[in-house]
Structures are given as C-alpha cells and as structure tokens.
C-alpha cells in the first residue's frame, strides 16, 4: 500500500511522551511538520517540545479522537501503548506501526513464536503460564533468565535463575504472570539492527551497533565503519533476519531487532522494538538521516533517507547516577562543560525534571575519523561524568 505524501506544515501525531517522542518531535519539526503528543503526564519530554500536548490516557476514546482529528498520521514511541488504541486510530488516520505489529512486540510469548516462525534462530525457551510449566521445564533451560511476558524493559521484569527453585521464587515475585524462561547462552557480543520500512515496502537498514549493557540497561553502542570479515558477515546476516521479521509483520516505520552473537559465532535474535531504539541514537550525529527523521518520513509518505554512516561513532547513555557524586553520594550538577570540551562529542539531554539512579536522562554521541579516535574521545567524555568506559572494548 502506498499513501499520498503528507506535505510539511501538516500535523503528525505521537502516542507517548518520553524521550524517543521528544527526539521525534524535534526531527519532524525540522522537516516543517507540527506534532501533537498524546500523553497522560502533565509534563513530559515529548509534550514539552510538541506543538500540542493532548493530556489523555492512551486508551481514552476522547483523547484518541482529538489526536486523530488533528493529525494525518500517528506513530508511537514505546511498545506498551495499547494495541487496540492504535487500531482505533487506524480507522481514521494513517498509523505506523500498526497495532497488529505492536501487539506482537509487546508480548514476549507472541514475539518469540513469531520470530521462530519467520525462520530466525532464537535461544532455547519455554512458555511459562503456570507454576506447573516451570516444573515441566527442561533442565537445559538452566541457568536461564525468567522474563515477564509483558511490560518489561531495561532489565525490569527479568531475573536470572540458576535452577527451578530460583525460577519458582522469581515467578512468585512477578505475581504469577505469564513469562518466558530462556536459556542463558555463552555470549561473545550483542548487536542490534535498526531499519525503516515504508508503506510501499521499501526498506533501508542502518549499520549495526555493537552494544554493551550494564544491569540490563544499554550503556555503550559502538558503530565502526570498517569491519573485519566476520563482523561484516554477522552484520549482513543480522540485517537479513531483521528484514525478514519486518516483512513478516508487514511493518511500517522504524524497527529495531536485537541479536546475541554466541562464542561459536552463531547469531540469535533476542527481541523486537517497534520504534526507534536507544542503540540507534548514534544516527543523530553520524548518519545522513537519523532514525527519528526516518520515522517522520515513513509517516508522511516521503522517500526514505540514506542510512550511510559518515564516520565511526560511539554512543554513551547518561543515567541519573551522574547527578550524584561517586565519592560522597551528594547531589551535584554533572560536568557538562567537560563533556562538550571533548572533540567530536555531542550532548543530547531529554529534559526530564528529576534525575534518579538508573533513569535514562540523555546520551552522548562521539564521532571521529577513526574508531580509535572515537574511543579516546568517548573515554574522555565518560571520565568527565564518571561513567565506566573500557577504551579497549
């Protein structure tokens, strides 16, 4: 299906008021669009920069009707928006991605079944809907990770379990909700693929980000421009798998697929994010077209932009921890001047009113002519904020 172009000056809509919505607003506005954000919070990163903030619950019929009446196309910035809300919007307005695609990504049981059905390898797993399912789980799934099927993110709703006794306790701690039990695999690396797919089926894929997580939260993404043969093959395989998933979902918009690289070189899909992704933030400073501009282009029926990376890049997440002195724990202002004194460093803060430990508050993109130079600059920026960073990684 190909929709007519929505010209700049018209309205695009966003369901969700977080930082991904904020960066979408800024990119869409730079193209000349006005943006309405639907978000129940009185103050939020996206609502604070949008042209209109509709303060409404995500499933409120009146709020959704107001958004559809104002906008010609609507997207979402996180997967926990009720899929029926997107279906309701789609009766009156262009929606990307569709509620059907989001519904798959917001339920780990459905997601894993879909990925397997698309022919993409996964870690061994079992569906856990009752305590009896845990009792019947294969010993090969231990040690493993128990993950709540819904509403988990950034390590929340997940627990490492060495055996069935630990799994039973974690399952009870989660309130007996549906889960997946996934075998822990011998990991060598983690990478992610961000792509955009238009309503005409055309796709573009960004260079893969190689990711480091700490406590279940993405900490560092590294995007080289020169790959060795093995890295290049892994990137090609991951891109092909992500494209197969996007086609199977009949997906429209920006999509991220996260992958594990095992010690033996095998590639396994981890999960789908039906939106721009933290690991794609490097595109804001290192690529011709950012993932957020790409999101607006898909919605508006514009040609997809180039995903070429102009130089090596490293993205560092900024958590609320940097507002607290590492020695005394006292609250203080981070050394932003020290960050911005670093060659090639760009600072992106999300406008969140309260800094809390573990809360994503912003990110730093570092670009340089070579990956070694980017690592040196990233190490200097990280040191200014007392963020751990291994320059050799």
Is 153 known as a binding-site position? yes
124-183 and 187-385 in the same fold: no
Right CATH number for 11-95 from 3.40.50.300, 3.40.50.20, 3.40.50.720, 3.30.70.270? 3.40.50.20
In 3-state terms the chain splits into helix, strand, coil percentages (rounded to 5) of: 30, 25, 40
Letter string b/e over residues 70-101, b meaning 16 or more CB atoms within 10 A of that residue's CB: bbbbbbbbbbebbbebbebbbeebbbbbbbeb
Burial class (CB in 10 A: 0-12, 13-18, 19+), 20: buried
Is 235 known as a binding-site position? no
What pLDDT is recorded for position 303? 97
Is 248 known as a binding-site position? no
Is 147 known as a binding-site position? yes
Angle at CA of residue 192, ends 161 and 255, nearest 5°? 110
Q: CA end-to-end span of the chain, whole Å?
A: 44
Beta carbons within 8 Å of 163's beta carbon, 6+ residues apart: 142, 143
Is 125 known as a binding-site position? no
Is 294 known as a binding-site position? no
Is 169 known as a binding-site position? no
Dist CA 159 CA 144 (whole Å): 8
Rounded to two decimals, the pTM is: 0.95
Quick: pLDDT tens for 237-267.
999 999 999 999 999 999 999 999 999 999 9
Is 47 known as a binding-site position? no
Is 152 known as a binding-site position? yes
What pLDDT is recorded for position 156? 72
Is 160 known as a binding-site position? no
Instruction: Show me where the domains of the chain are located.
Output: 11-95, 124-183, 187-385
Which CATH number applies to 187-385?
Answer: 3.30.470.20
Which CATH number applies to 124-183?
Answer: 3.30.1490.20
Mean pLDDT per 10-residue interval, the chain, length 393 residues: 89 98 98 98 97 98 98 95 96 97 95 96 96 94 95 75 95 94 96 97 98 94 96 97 98 98 96 97 98 98 97 98 93 97 98 95 98 98 94 63
Is 91 known as a binding-site position? no
Dist CA 371 CA 349 (whole Å): 24
Is 202 known as a binding-site position? no
Is 271 known as a binding-site position? yes
């Amino acid at each position: 299906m190909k929709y007519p172009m929505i010209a700049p000056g018209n309205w695009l809509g966003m369901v969700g008021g977080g930082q991904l919505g904020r960066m979408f607003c800024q990119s869409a506005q730079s193209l000349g669009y006005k943006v309405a954000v639907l978000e129940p919070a009185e103050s939020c990163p996206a609502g604070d920069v949008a042209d209109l903030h509709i303060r409404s619950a995500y499933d409120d019929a009146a709020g959704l009707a107001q958004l559809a009446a104002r906008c010609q196309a609507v997207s979402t910035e996180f997967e926990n928006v009720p899929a029926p809300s997107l279906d309701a919007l789609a009766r009156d307005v262009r929606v990307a991605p569709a509620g059907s695609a989001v519904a798959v990504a917001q339920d780990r049981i459905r997601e894993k079944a879909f990925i397997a059905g698309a022919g993409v390898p996964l870690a061994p797993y079992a569906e856990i809907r009752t305590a009896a399912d845990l009792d019947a789980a294969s010993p090969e799934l231990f040690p493993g990770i128990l993950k709540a099927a819904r509403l988990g993110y950034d390590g929340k709703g997940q627990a490492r379990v060495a055996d069935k006794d630990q799994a039973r306790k974690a399952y009870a701690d989660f309130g007996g909700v549906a889960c997946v039990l996934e075998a822990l695999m011998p990991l060598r690396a983690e990478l992610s693929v961000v792509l955009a797919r238009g309503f005409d089926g055309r796709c573009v894929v960004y260079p893969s980000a190689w990711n480091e997580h700490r406590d279940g939260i993405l900490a560092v993404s590294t995007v080289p421009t020169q790959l060795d043969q093995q890295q290049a093959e892994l990137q090609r395989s991951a891109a092909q798998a992500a494209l197969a998933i996007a086609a199977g979902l009949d997906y429209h918009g920006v999509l991220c697929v996260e992958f594990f690289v095992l010690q033996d070189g095998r590639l396994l899909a981890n999960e789908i994010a039906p939106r721009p992704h933290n690991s794609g933030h490097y595109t804001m400073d290192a690529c011709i077209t950012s993932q957020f501009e790409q999101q607006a282009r898909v919605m508006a029926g514009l040609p997809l932009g180039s995903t070429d990376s102009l130089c090596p890049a490293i993205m560092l997440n900024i958590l609320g921890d940097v507002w607290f002195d590492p020695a005394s724990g006292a609250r203080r202002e981070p050394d932003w001047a020290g960050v911005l004194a670093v060659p090639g460093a760009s600072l992106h803060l999300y406008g969140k009113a309260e800094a809390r430990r573990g809360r994503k508050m912003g990110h730093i993109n570092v670009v340089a002519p070579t990956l070694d130079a980017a690592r040196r600059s990233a190490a200097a920026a990280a040191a200014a904020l007392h963020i751990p960073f291994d320059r050799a990684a």
